[in-house]
Chains A and B, each alone.
Chain A
Amino acid sequence: MSNQMDKIFREKLGRYKAPVEPDLWAAIAADQARKRRKSRLLKIAMYSSLLLLVLSFAYIAYTASNNQLNNTRIDNTTIVNNEPADTKKTNTTALSNTISDNKATVSNDGKVTSEVANTSTSIPTNAASANQLKPTTTQSASNESNARNAAQASNNLPQPQSTSSDNGSNNNSSSNNSNNFSGVTTSIAEHTSIETTTKKTARTQFSATAQLPRLPLPLLSPRAVALPELEAANVEEQGNGFSKSNGKRFEIDLLAGPAYANQMFRLEDESHRDLLAAREISEFPEVSFLAGLRVAYRLKGPWSLRSGLLYTQIRNQFEYEQRNSSSEPTILIKSSNRIQMLEIPLLASYELPGKRFRLAVNAGPVINIATTTNGRYLLPDLMRPVSLKGEENIYRNNVGISYQASLTAAYDLGMGNSLLIEPTFKSYRKSFTKDSYALGERYWLAGLQIGLRHRIR
């Protein structure tokens, strides 16, 4: 009997349906809306952290790369300064030996010219290498009027010959061999000295060209790569600090990008909880926008001031399912709520040192000039959507001062232009709704702007 009794209860009550109050969904939906917001916030926090991490990593990597570049340059300079000393010593020794041989040969044969010409065969190591480096050795044997032999000896040097031949004072060479020997000695000694100096310059240039291909070329501007080292250094030095840029104190930034606007309601009076639930379940955030034109005035050191005009558009989707009676179909009402603002940012900016890639931290107040709204919201008493236009507009025309903080990553494109990526955070302290409205509504925005910077020359 018991089993039969259980069976009857199970069959009749197992699928028993009881009517549900319509407002029960509102509380559940409000809870879900809060969770959705929380989930979005977590995602934003995660993506922001990731972006900051990537930017920080890029900055550190770039700084390390620059340090390596500087070290390489220092090494080159050291090598250039050290090498000639040894070379000079070797060359001088070699030349002295050759000259001694020349003396002996001249004493025996009297064929100074031909013998000294042999001397020139002992030089070519230096001459040839000098010739390979740069043709500036033209000057090396010049102005040695008494050294006819030296002039002839320099026949193997392609350029010096023409220059040294200008002297045209070689007539007395055969009659004064001893003078010529001393003249040759002096001349070659001077030649050695001059040549070494020339070689030093030539090697400097050679070292610069030889080392450049090993540098991280993509990081150098085309101008810096094209120019010799010293000039390239000047170019980079100019860009290194604004204080060194001879009065280029103004920059123009043009920025735009998407943002997430987080809507926060504050209930002043518990009796309006229905209103809170109605708005929480009917409004969902959409992608908002930020765009702005800023002018920066650079102060001394890393500081600068930035101001301009900022346009902010906060977007929320309004959704409401309207059902007049259970027999009628549900009507889905959808609209896009927009809060548009014009603002003036007053930002102090601190730029971290860098070459082509620079980071700057900006922070400061943003003054609201005008605020307009359009869209709809749910009125819980009537359970119908109302327009934000006209007398039923619950929003202020000016939301006062907000606060902005951002991180600007600038990559120098050359010609005074930079590519900007700027994660931005903006917080509005004042409620967007009028004091007479029962619900406070505040926002904060997190956005990512991309833009261009031009330095005014």
Chain B
Amino acid sequence: MLSMSEKELIEGAKKRDARSQRALFDRYSPVLMGVCLRYCRNRAEAEDALQESFIRIFDKLHLYDFKGSFEGWLKRLTVNVALKSYQLKRFTHEQSGLEAVPEGSGDPTAYARLGEQELMGLVMSLPEGYRLVFNLYAIEGYSHKEIAQALGIQEASSRSQLLKARKLLQRKIENQQRIAI
């Protein structure tokens, strides 16, 4: 349920009122920057994606009909912008040599002990293809069919890249634990 002030802000931004737009930016830009960082290779790219996302948000805001979460709508739009940016850069699937990596047997509670920044660091360290699929599936909740459509790949590729992403994250955690010990 939207609070009145938020609804007013959205209505104002729909009319291209500068103050309402600024208030929406102040409120949601940190969350959306977090989204952009997960999809982009570095901070500069993430800032570009965030800028483009807000331009798109203000242009498409009239399509938002106050049904469902506004933040969810913003995130979905931001993810689409980030993915478009990824496609424009013609990313070629990186091969990380993970095929040789054995299935990890690490303790799943090890992830729970890590903070947001560390987890973010782990995700950012993934090769781009894996990172995109992992972000879309594990964090955003997209299905493999949706991921395949968004990235222009086969569903099977999406599944295999997710699997490899998990393996890689698991291995990185184990390495971190070994160093810590």
| B50 proximal to A (CB < 8 A) | yes
Contact across chains for B22 and A2 when beta carbons are under 8 A apart: no
User: Which residues of chain A are near B31, meaning CB under 8 Å?
Assistant: 15-17
A293 to chain B, nearest CB (A): 38
User: Which residues of chain A are near B138, meaning CB under 8 Å?
Assistant: 5-6, 9-10
| B1 proximal to A (CB < 8 A) | no
| B29 proximal to A (CB < 8 A) | yes
Contact across chains for B22 and A29 when beta carbons are under 8 A apart: yes
Proximity bits, B1-42, A CB within 8 Å = 1, else 0? 000000000000000101001100100011101100110000
Contact across chains for B34 and A6 when beta carbons are under 8 A apart: no
User: Which residues of chain B are near A8, meaning CB under 8 Å?
Assistant: 108, 111-112, 119
A7 to chain B, nearest CB (A): 8
Residues 108-124 (chain B) with a chain A CB within 8 angstroms: 108, 111-112, 114-116, 119-120, 123
Among residues of A, the one whose C-beta sits closest to the C-beta of B163 is A2
| B169 proximal to A (CB < 8 A) | yes
| B51 proximal to A (CB < 8 A) | yes
Assuming the contacts A9-B119, A12-B119, A14-B139, asked whether A4 and B18 have C-beta atoms less than 8 A apart, the reply is no
A405 to chain B, nearest CB (A): 30
Interface range for A: 20 to 34
Assuming the contacts A5-B108, A32-B16, asked whether A20 and B30 have C-beta atoms less than 8 A apart, the reply is yes
Contact across chains for B166 and A21 when beta carbons are under 8 A apart: no
CA distance A35 to B46 in the complex (A): 24
Contact across chains for B54 and A35 when beta carbons are under 8 A apart: no
Contact across chains for B47 and A39 when beta carbons are under 8 A apart: no
Assuming the contacts A2-B166, A5-B166, A17-B31, asked whether A25 and B25 have C-beta atoms less than 8 A apart, the reply is yes
| B55 proximal to A (CB < 8 A) | yes
CA distance A265 to B120 in the complex (A): 42
User: Which residues of chain A are near B116, meaning CB under 8 Å?
Assistant: 12-13, 16
Quick one: which of B22, B111, B120 contacts A16, CB cutoff 8 A?
B120
Residues 54-109 (chain B) with a chain A CB within 8 angstroms: 54-55, 58-59, 108
Contact across chains for A18 and B119 when beta carbons are under 8 A apart: no
CA distance A281 to B119 in the complex (A): 37
CA distance A18 to B33 in the complex (A): 6
CA distance A2 to B30 in the complex (A): 28
CA distance A19 to B37 in the complex (A): 11
User: Which residues of chain B are near A6, meaning CB under 8 Å?
Assistant: 137-139
A129 to chain B, nearest CB (A): 74
User: Which residues of chain A are near B123, meaning CB under 8 Å?
Assistant: 9, 13
Residues 17-64 (chain A) with a chain B CB within 8 angstroms: 17-21, 24-25, 27-29, 31-33, 35-36, 39
| Residue among A17, A21, A27 facing the most chain B CB atoms (10 A cut-off) | A17
Contact across chains for A18 and B34 when beta carbons are under 8 A apart: yes
Contact across chains for A13 and B119 when beta carbons are under 8 A apart: yes
User: Which residues of chain B are near A343, meaning CB under 8 Å?
Assistant: none
A277 to chain B, nearest CB (A): 12
Contact across chains for B34 and A17 when beta carbons are under 8 A apart: yes
User: Which residues of chain B are near A21, meaning CB under 8 Å?
Assistant: 47
Assuming the contacts A10-B138, A13-B119, asked whether A32 and B21 have C-beta atoms less than 8 A apart, the reply is yes
User: Which residues of chain A are near B16, meaning CB under 8 Å?
Assistant: 32, 35-36, 39
Contact across chains for B18 and A28 when beta carbons are under 8 A apart: no
Assuming the contacts A9-B119, A10-B138, A20-B50, asked whether A25 and B33 have C-beta atoms less than 8 A apart, the reply is no
List 17 additional contacts besides A4-B108, A18-B33, A25-B22; criterion CB under 8 Å. Answer: A5-B111, A5-B166, A6-B137, A6-B139, A9-B119, A12-B115, A13-B38, A13-B119, A15-B31, A19-B33, A20-B47, A20-B50, A32-B55, A36-B16, A39-B16, A284-B18, A319-B18
The 7 listed contacts between A and B (C-beta, < 8 Å) are A15-B34, A20-B30, A21-B47, A31-B55, A35-B16, A36-B18, A319-B18
